[in-house]
Every structure is written in C-alpha cells, then in structure tokens.
A and B are shown apart, each in its own frame.
Chain A
C-alpha cells in the first residue's frame, strides 16, 4: 500500500513529505529527479518509476508533482486515483492547489492526509466526510478560533460514514430546497487537413448541486438514454434501476457532487459544432510564408459559439508572424513559437479570421511538420450529443424543491491538422 507521499515543485524541491508507514528517506526521490531530467517536459515524466526497493508513482497537476512511494505490488491505478483524489481534496479545501497554498495550510494539509490514509489504506476520501472531520480553513473560522480557542478538527464521528448511505449526513436542513444539474459535454476531436473528422467523441458529465432537507430520494430520467455508451456513476446511483429502466435513482449526497459521467463514442455520429478554414504555407524559396485561418460555426442549433480560443505550436523555423485579426487579440511568442488567438464570440454573419505572413529563418529548408491547431470554445444551452433530461422527481420528503437543469458544450481536446 502507499508508504509515503512527497510533493515536489517545478524546480525540484521537495516541499512536503508524509509517511504512513515507516519513514522513507527522501533520497528515494533522486530516481524521480533523474527521470524528470530525462523527460523534456514536466508532462512527459513517466507515471511509474521503478527504483531498487520502491516504486514511485506520480501525477502532475497544478505544476506540482505528487509522488507516492510504494514498496509492494499495489494496483497502480489505485495509487494514481488516490493521488488525484488528494489533489481534488486540496482544491476543494483551499480553492486552489498551489505550493503557496499548501505551505500556508501545512497543518491542515497534514491532518487531512492523515485522515485520508491509514497504513496506506484509504480511510476517508469523500470530501463531505473529510470536511466534518477537519473543517476547511476560512477567514471567519480562523478569527473565531483565535478568539475562542476552538479548533478546526471535528471531534465527533462523521455521522454518515457507517450508514447505508455513507455519502450523506443525517439531519440536513435547508430553508430553500433546491437541486441543480449541469449537463456538461466536452467534445474531443481530431479533424484532418481537408476538414473531415478523423475521430470525435464526447465525454459528458452531470454535475449536481443538491441542497435538500432530510433524506430525499430522487429519480432523473432522460429523453434518450440510449445515447450513452458507457456510464460511470456516483456510488449513490442504484445500478439495478439503470440496468432495467434506464432511470437514475439515488439519494443524493449533500452539496456538490458528480452524479454521472458518460461517454458517447465515435460510432454515434458526433456533430462537430465549428469548422476551421486554414491556408498555411511555408514557401520554399523566399523566407516568407502565408498564414490564414477562419473559424466558423456549424450544427450549433442556433446557439452562439463563444469563448473561442485558437492556439497553435509553430515549427522551430518560424521567426516571427505578422498577423491581423478581424476580431479579438492574438499573441505570438517567438521563444516558445506558440501562437494564440483569443477570438471571443463567433458572429455567423461576419466570420472571424486571422491573416498575415510568416517570416522564416533564412537559409534553412522549410519546416517538415505542419502546425496543429488547437481549438477551445463553449456553447451554452446545448448538449451536442442531443442528450436531454426528461424529468426529475423527488420521493421521501414532502416539500417541493426548486429544480434546474443547465446544458453546456465545451471543446475538450479539439485538434485540427493542417
């Protein structure tokens, strides 16, 4: 099981260590540093590194490496999942997960880590249980604590932990009873030169914010549940009813949680909501190339595409780019060769475009690789897969809750090859 955890920042300093069994010397991280040196970028550090007596499993998030040390055969996914859970918890507690924030709250961090794992076995990883055991620091509480001498460590056993619904505490009370569901879909796609789709899939989630009194029992049904290829549920969802009726039936946790994540694969034809017209050429003889891209909407069911960002990694041979956008702002960083263009909203009547010339290093041959264009966008009030919630019902409680559903489509890894 998990022996120890080291937190390492981008410059290679270990700024926190926690051991759940015997203490492992931090020199074990030398193997990690070696691997880090070999990898060109932080993202490329392999997640599993063997050392003579231990294994180092790491995740890289928020510019911090979370390195777990294990000694025996342990499912690596278990460790990596747990590490991600640690990061999520930190984020949940402190708003952001950064080195400064962790150092600022080192004692809480330590207490939380101790609570999450016992002897390498996960103990409490549900955020609402943890928060009952160790209350997240807020300015108000810090002030109150200094005055009254009380602590931010809960001294009662979290109530829900051993019930049949460990995710929900008892005795929840609200004056406004409300339940909001956000259907968020991310579209991952690779589009080839000619504009046809090579692969496209949708990763969807339904995030919920439920603030309901008592022990409500909810059912959520879809207009078209067969769309969903693969689903993963929050533990509260009754699997049997989904299997037989395709209905989500559950007693929700209190507060924010991810009810469901799903996957719509390439077989179900995925509509691509935007297109890019591009004309990029690095001419051989002269040291000037042409660059022109235009972004336009398609199949958006009349909804506006907004928050559009275009970025592209130019080849090394590119010295500079002289471009004029029809809207938005653009930046080209001559050092990293990264071009980014913040487009904003797409007006279907007047398509945004970026035109200009590329100056190449003189004397070298033209770059062999073509830049790939990375696209980000958002479309409100649209689930691109066509998924629609039919109705939401509540049982078990008498009051009438306020219900709300929001849809949104975003670009995930959306790449256009040129």
Chain B
C-alpha cells in the first residue's frame, strides 16, 4: 500500500474515472481520489479540469482531506478564478474556527491563491488573524501580508496592513517578530523608497531580544535586517556586536554567515586599538573554518564569501591556510575556490607549504584544476618575492613532466614572472625553448614568442625560432600574430644586421596580406617608425616596461566594501553588486560600510555619515561593462559626447541634485563648473581633445547647417551583456520635419536573431514609432544592421522624469529587453517656430521673471551671424538682432511639437573670457537647447555667450506636470519654477525640457501656468541617491536590467 499506486492509472479516461471517484459518497474513496489528483499534479500533469469536483470536497471535517484540497487549490486557482470563488466561503468560515491550526491554515492558504477576487475577501479575516490571540495564527498572518502585497500592493497599503505589520515587530512572541521582520524585508525589497523597516535603537533592541529566542530561520531574517542598521557611534556598534557574537556558534551555517556579515560591517566602526576589536577578530576565524567542513554546496558559498573577507581583513584567517588545502575528492567548484583563497593567504611565512601543495595539485587528473594550480604557482612568485626562485624551479620541474597542458600553462606564467622580475631568471629560457614545438595553445605560443623577442639578444637562434613561427603566420590566432610581429621588430632592433629580411617579411605579411585591422595598423606603425627614425623606434619598442602589479584579480576596494555589506547573499557569490544582476534593480539601494567614528565624532548627525559615505563611493565604483563602454567612447570621441553617452546608457539614471549648486557656483564666480564626477577625463584634457576633434566636426558642421539639425554621435543604449548579446546603439535626428531614431543593432551572441519589434513607453512628448521596426533578414552573429526608425509625436503622453526620458522595449526571438535613453530636445523643435516680431515683444513682457533661466556658455567663438545660421538649422529662429555696447544680442524663438513656445535672448560678448553676468534690463527669451544643437560642432575659446532664458507657462486646464528633478510639485499660483541648469564647458550638456501641452495658441496667458517649462542639462551618470529616487511613473514599469551576464 504505497502512494506509487496513484501514478499507475495512466490509461485513457483517467480524468473521468477520477471525476466519478471525487463525487463518490464514500469519504475514503474521495480521499483516495484527491490523493491521486495530487500525485498527478506533483509530476506536472494537468488536472485542472477536475477543479469543481475537487473544490466540492473542501467542506469536510477531515483535516487531511482539507489540506489536500487546499494544496490543489493553490496550484490551480489562478487558472480557474471564477471557480475559485466557490472556495471563499469555506475559507472565511475556517478563519473563525476555534482550532488555531485551522484558522492559520485557512489564512495561509487564502494568501496563496493569487486571484484578485479572492484577495478582496481576504482582507477582513486577515485583519482579525493579525490580532489573533494565538501567536501561531499571528505569525502565519504576518507572512500572509507579504503574500498579499505581492498580489496587490495597493490593497495592502490602503487597508493599513503595513502599519499592523510594523506593530508586530514589538510582539511578545519572538516567532511573530521574526516573521514580521521577514515579511517587511520582502515588502521593502519591492518598495525601496518606503521606510518600512524604520530602525532605531528601540526597535534594534527588540530585534536583538527576539534574536535569542526565535527559530534559526527567524534569526537569519533578523540578522539580515540588523545589517542594514547604522549604529550612531562605536559604542552602540560594539554593544550590537556583543549581542550578535553568540550566533557564530549556531549549527545553521546561514545564521553563522549572516552574523559574520553584521560583525564585519559594524567592525568598521570600531577603533582598531580597542581590545574588543582584537577579540572579535579572533572569534570570527573558527566559525568560518567550521563552515568548510559542511556539505560541499555550503562550502562553495562559504568559500566565495571567505574570498571577500580575506581581501577585506586578511588578518582573520592568516593562520588558517591549511584548511584550504584541497582534498582530491572535493567537487571541482570547491577546489577552484580553495585555490583562489590559498593564493590570497600566501605569505612569506607559509609559502613553502603552499608551493608543495600546488605542486601536488599540478599532478592531479582534472585538467582545469591542474591549469589553475600551475597558474597559482606563478601568482605566488609574483606576490611573494622571496619565493620567486622556488616558484620558478617548481615550474621548471613541472615543465620536465612534459605533460602538454602543464607545460603550456607554465610558460604563460613564466612570462609574467619575467615581467615582474626582469633580468633575473633568464637562465631558464633554454629549457623553455626545448618545448617550443609542443605548444599548440595561442596563449602559450604568444607567451613564448614574447619571451623570445624580449630576450632576443641572449638567444642565439632567436631568428630561427621566430622564423619557424612565421611560416604558418596566417593560421595563427591574432594574439600570436601580434606578438610575433612585435617580437620580430624587437629582434630587428637588437640584431639589425642579420634580420632585415625577416622583419620585412613579417611587415609585409601583417600589412598587405592580413585583413585584421589591428594587425595592419600595428604593422604600419612599426614600418613607419622603422623607416623614418630607427632610434625613435628603439626608444618606443624597447622602452622599459612598467612592472606588473602584484595581484591582478583583487576586487576594487569600493566594490569590496559594498560587497562586504552583502555577505551571505547572491551578490557575494557572484562578487557583483546586486544592481548588476538582480531583476528590477531600481529596487536596489546601494549599501556602504559605516564610516569609522570615534566617540568624539559621535555628535555628528548619524544620517549625514552614511549618505556622505555613499556620495564618496559612487563615482569610484568599478563600471560594469556597459558603463565602461560609455567611458571608452568618451575618451575616444572627446568632448562632443562628453556627457550624453553616460546619461543615455541603458542604466536608468535618476536626476541628481547637482543642478542648482552647480549653477550657483557658475554664476557666482563665472569660472567654476559643475563637478563632473563620472567624466573619465580631467577637465584640462578637454581643450586639446576638442580642438583635435574640431577638425573632424568642422567638416560636418557645414553640412549640418544645410541639411538639418545637429545629430549626436551614436551611443550605446543597450550593452550586449545586458541583452543576451544584442547591442543597440543609436541617436536621434530631425530631418526636414520628421523625427527619426537611428539605430544600429549588433548581434554579439552566437545565435541568429530575428523577429525584431520595438515599443516605447508613454513619454512626455508622446513620441512613438511611426512604423514598425523593419529588419529584413535575420541578424547573423557578429553582424550589425543600421535602421532609421521614423517617429511621430501622437503617442500617449505621460510625464517622465527626467522629462526627455524615453523607455524602450525591444523584442527579438530570444527575449524582450528594456532600456531607457534620453532624447535631445531639439528633435522636437518644429519648422514653423518663427514668431512674429510684434508678438514676440508682447509675449516677452508678459512672462514673469520666475519663468526665466539664464546661464552662460564659454569657449564658444562664433559671431552672431554664424550662431544665428547654425541655430536656424535646428529650427531656432532669430527674430531680431541688435548691438548694445559692442555686444551682439540675438532674440530668438522656437516651438515644440506640442505647441509650447520658448523665447530666448542670446548675448555674445566678443573676446571676454572672464565674463561676469550683467543684469539685463528687461527679460529676454531664448531656447536653452540651441547652443547645444548649434555649436557643439565647434570648440573654440575666445567668445563667451550670455544667455538668458525664460519659459512660457502652459495653458490653463491642461494636466499639471511637475518640473524636472529637484522640485517635485508646482505652486498653483501660476508661478512656474524654473530649474536653472548648470553649464559646463561642453555646450552639449545644455538642453531644454518642456512640459507637454497641446496649446493651440502660441501665447498662453501667464496666469494659467500649470505646466512648467524647465531647463536642465543632463548631468552624466550618477545613480540616484537612496531616498531621492523619483517614484516610477505609470503602470509600465521597465525592468532594467535583466538577470544576465552573470557567468
């Protein structure tokens, strides 16, 4: 009599048979039938057709039957929402049952039924259960709130369940506290801005008390929650540490690791001179060691975390080297991690032991492991100088084994050792050369060639050796070809007489017969160097090389600090901050270690400290690949794309409150610029780079003024690593009245992509694709296609933040990807934006001063006419021009696609580099963006431009739209806040944002003012500070980035 009999009825008509049995009068038969149904469900068979029959069995006093029916309901209610309603009555009734087990079961099951209609009925019973006298029911109800929140967050907030849940933190029963904390943490995860877990010394105290009494799982939740707390001084930190330390002795490894996290974090605040600090360090080691005797899966996670801990505080485990020695039957993933940590812990004191072990590993069976072991020997040599000699001799021993992959790996690391200790171990070169023929991997071949080239003067037959490689030049990989080219050039410079022929041969192979641009370029450079100035060539090619750094794979310190805050989480397993991979990363708040505070400093506001730490940390965080790409683009292209590439890269950027301050300083001193934290190049680099590029852009600028508005260079919007190999870069342009989005889709994956489609989220100006995305042929790997997607502005309108934010979804046969980008506002300037002179004057006077913005642009040497014609190309029209005291003044107007007018005054001061703002007697108007559209083409130094702008309020009655960035709400009086943008030396920073409106009149009355028109430059990337994150508007929530690229 086993349950396996339930699986045997696979014959035809099974469902009917079950149906009959379910409706049987006999209780026993019914139960058996339900069991059969459940059994089918567990193996993934679809038995949803039996829904009504199973639900009928629910009304029973047999608890097992009831539970079975509940199990069924949870699985299938979603597919049969109407039927599920039938169950509601029983649930509600059960919630009143005198048996707390049944009450809890009912509320628990109800929460698992993800049907909207049921959730409505759930509220009342849940409210009762949250206040139930029985703690078992209360703790179940606490979890139920989290479930309900997952289904319908709004409902939970409206019903005030969150407050009730917060009250439960003070419950008398520790189990209830733990569950309440767990539920709140889960809710807070999807709700980063809400201050659900308001931690203060009182609540911390409650949590610490509950910590001692609740279950192991509850302890994990509480410890994780404690880790988010910021103690106000070192004394508080110490007292928390003292109360958390006993958790290190828990049998559950997750509890131990969570406790380690809390301690590692709060330790940061303790002074190193404190006795307690030393005690704590000593206490941390044993539990970490014990984790390594657990099951291999646990070991793996523990090792990944220990890797972080060892980097942060090597002193903790410095005497524990031996526990990381590899056992031959450890799983491979454990072996590789142990090896990593061994190298990190290697020091002069233990290097002999480590080397002996590594040598042992190098004779093991598993190839990957052996390779890593050999590499590790090289890393030891580089890390511990005293051991270098021993390492080299160990490597030589290994080379003698003649095992192919060992030899190759050894040669690769010996090359690194040569780099680190030049002119020390060259005696081994002869041994290496013996193995030349057995090398078949590109990396090893390249390493060997490098060695031959570098030490050509000591190798008698270097030319023969290199010549032998040259024979199959075209079959080699690029890595080897490049290395070979360099090596032969080095050889030539060292022994010019014998090798002239050889060098010519390689240069011709590289430049004429190769289609690899890298190779060709390098070939040409050498060629030219050699032919023009051999002495210079010698200086360049044989220059002294910088020493290689000690450890190449250390995690960058700020990232390490952040990861320490994530000990025990997935982030710590992947060594990446959660923002890099967790789905819906907008919910991720960056964490940082608390700053060290002495008692004397403790008067400092506790709030200021963390946020300060944050700000300092942000700019230095290692860029993810996507950001890095942006930075690289910056460097390559220089000023014209200095800001926007980062701002438009696919990570959704929040507004940063740098605008006001930046501008103030600008206005005040006339020479200060807003800080540019994430621009990779120092400011003084700007000029030479830009003048170099000036040439480039002069070519285009002439064309630009004729054929249409300025088009920014394409930037990467969606990096390949975030979109499973699809890379999208693009820009926006406006050509004779039509807006288009110019895209380049590149397939960097290994499979063919097809079925592309694109969609925009609602946005401030109603931008929408005017035609579907046409990609005619499937996109093969490594292929890219350029597409110009026509856009119109008839889509639905929703205010975005920043205003010109555009959220885009792109679909292909693999998945749907989301990214957001910022479009330049000038694409929205319509062709009939020229205002009549009289009207201009009248409107000008009607605009209140609050609606003005003014700022200056420096380093721009165009005269008034040139400016005027350039701007006209972008549909900014000059209405009038006059000359006041030798300064040219331009009055200009432009109109946006939604009918908003922007008027501007532009003052040009010839040859006055140190400009001071002069109050202008009357308000003037100017579109803010024109400088960007018009002048970014040229970078000059002698003129400064004075710009005073003012914006029109929108029509009355139109939906009020809040301003961009810092000021979230509009005064209702008609005064429109204008946010003054800061202006940096890159004019393209300056863009204009306007609120959407569909004004039919060009002159809306100023009192109407609901819609602000505001200006803002989009300062380059900074993650939004926590708490400063604007709530994501609208129902369409982009999920950025998706969980990819973890490999």
Contact = CB atoms under 8 A, between A and B. Distances in A.
A83 B574 CA distance: 21
Contacts of A17: 42-44
B333 A53 contact: no
A98 B905 CA distance: 82
Interface of B: 1-4, 6-7, 27-28, 31, 35, 38-39, 42-44, 62-65, 67-68, 71, 74-75, 78, 99-102, 108, 111-112, 114, 134-136, 140, 143-144, 146-147, 150, 173, 175, 179, 182-183, 186, 189, 213, 215-217, 220, 224, 246, 249-254, 256-258, 286-287, 289-290, 293, 295-298, 300-302, 319-320, 322-323, 325, 327-329, 331-333, 353, 356-357, 360, 363-365, 401, 403, 568-571, 573-574, 578, 581-583, 724, 815, 1042-1044, 1046-1047
28 contacts: A22-B114, A26-B44, A46-B333, A47-B333, A53-B1043, A59-B295, A73-B189, A75-B224, A75-B257, A77-B568, A104-B2, A114-B71, A119-B111, A119-B112, A122-B215, A125-B215, A146-B28, A151-B62, A153-B64, A155-B99, A156-B99, A157-B134, A161-B175, A198-B325, A199-B322, A243-B246, A313-B328, A368-B401
A305 to B, nearest CB: 21
B329 A413 contact: yes
A332 interface: no
Nearest to B178: A121
B75 A23 contact: yes
Return the 7 tightest CB-CB contacts between A and B, nearest first.
A230-B286, A104-B2, A151-B64, A47-B297, A77-B254, A153-B64, A122-B217
Given A52-B1043, A370-B363, A156 B101 contact: yes
A284 B438 CA distance: 21
Contacts of B298: 77, 80-81, 84
Q: How large is the interface on A (under 10, 10 to 19, 20 to 34, 35 or more residues)?
A: 35 or more
A412 to B, nearest CB: 8
A53 B63 contact: no
Nearest to B815: A52
Nearest to B321: A199
B583 A53 contact: yes
Contacts of B173: 162
A415 B578 contact: no
Nearest to A198: B325
A413 B327 contact: yes
Interface in A163-188: 164, 166, 188
Given A73-B582, A105-B2, A315-B365, 20 more contacts: A17-B42, A22-B78, A46-B333, A59-B297, A73-B570, A77-B298, A100-B4, A106-B6, A106-B39, A110-B42, A123-B140, A161-B136, A162-B173, A198-B325, A230-B286, A232-B287, A232-B290, A261-B251, A261-B290, A369-B363
Contacts of A90: none
Contacts of A107: 3, 6, 35, 38-39, 68
A146 to B, nearest CB: 7
Nearest to A166: B215
Interface in A1-52: 1, 14-23, 26, 39-40, 43-44, 46-48, 50-52
A262 to B, nearest CB: 8
B332 A77 contact: no
A142 B570 contact: no
Interface of A: 1, 14-23, 26, 39-40, 43-44, 46-48, 50-55, 57-61, 71-78, 80-84, 100, 103-108, 110-111, 114, 118-119, 121-123, 125, 142, 146, 149, 151-157, 161-162, 164, 166, 188, 190, 192, 198-199, 201, 203, 229-235, 239, 242-243, 258, 261, 263, 265-267, 313, 315, 368-370, 372, 374, 413, 415, 417
A118 B140 contact: yes
Contact of A266 (B1, B254, B322, B403): B322
Contacts of A372: 328
Given A55-B570, A75-B569, A162 B64 contact: no
Contacts of A72: 189, 582-583
A166 to B, nearest CB: 7
Given A16-B43, A50-B581, A73-B578, A415 B322 contact: no
Nearest to B216: A235
A170 B569 CA distance: 38
Contacts of A313: 328, 365
Contact of A368 (B7, B28, B213, B403): B403
A160 to B, nearest CB: 11
B136 A157 contact: yes
B304 to A, nearest CB: 9
A119 B71 contact: no
B249 to A, nearest CB: 5
A152 B583 contact: no
Contacts of A368: 363, 401, 403
A142 B63 CA distance: 17
A75 B256 CA distance: 12
Contacts of B331: 43-44
A374 B286 contact: no
A263 B189 CA distance: 37
B286 A265 contact: yes
Contacts of A374: 329
Nearest to A66: B297
Contacts of B112: 20-21, 119
Given A119-B147, A125-B217, A18 B254 contact: no
Contacts of A154: 63
B292 to A, nearest CB: 9
Given A122-B217, A233-B251, A106 B1 contact: no
B27 A149 contact: yes
Contacts of A155: 63, 99, 101-102
A153 B146 contact: no
